[in-house]
Amino acid sequence: MSDTTAGTPTSLDAVFTVRMTLGDPLPGADARFDLAKEWTGGAEGTSRGVMLTAGDPETGSAGYVVSETFEGTLGGRRGTLVLQQLGTMAAGEPELQYVIVPGSGTDELAGATGTVTIGEIHDDGRHEVRIQLA
């Protein structure tokens, strides 16, 4: 379900699936992955991006960053925008920030800002998310 303000959804529920392939390594990163996502629901479209990881997951301390470009619709508004993730884990305690990069939107998504919250991650790779547009 989504909330609306003046006919524009401010909270969207969506699902994405992701394919990751190992990319060329970068100095200081344990691994680099190329990402491709398919989005359905309140977000319809595709995104492509890059993930860098570092740390020691065996001790519960690690981190990753992702930058991805989304192309499609959010709540019926068409365009592109950039999504950015910062995930850290210290002593097994995870923390995640997942945001729409301010100033990155084009066309009907120009000016879009907000956050993405990851909910359930299914065994088949589907990620349920809530996108909160600001």
Q: Residue 96's domain is classified under what CATH number?
A: 2.40.350.10
Say if residue 6's pLDDT is above 90: no
Alpha-carbon distances, residue 119 vs 14, 76, 128 (angstroms): 10, 22, 5
- Residue 12's closest CA among 109, 124, 123? 109
Q: Long-range contacts made by residues 2-6, C-beta under 8 angstroms, separation at least 24? A: 2/42, 2/75
> Total structural domains in the chain?
1
| Domain span including residue 51 | 4-133
pTM higher than the cut 0.95: no
- Per-residue pLDDT of 33-82, as tens digits, reads 999 999 999 999 999 999 999 998 788 899 999 999 999 999 999 999 99
Bridge partners (DSSP) of residue 32 are 52
pLDDT of residue 101 exceeding 70, the answer is yes
pLDDT at 3: 46
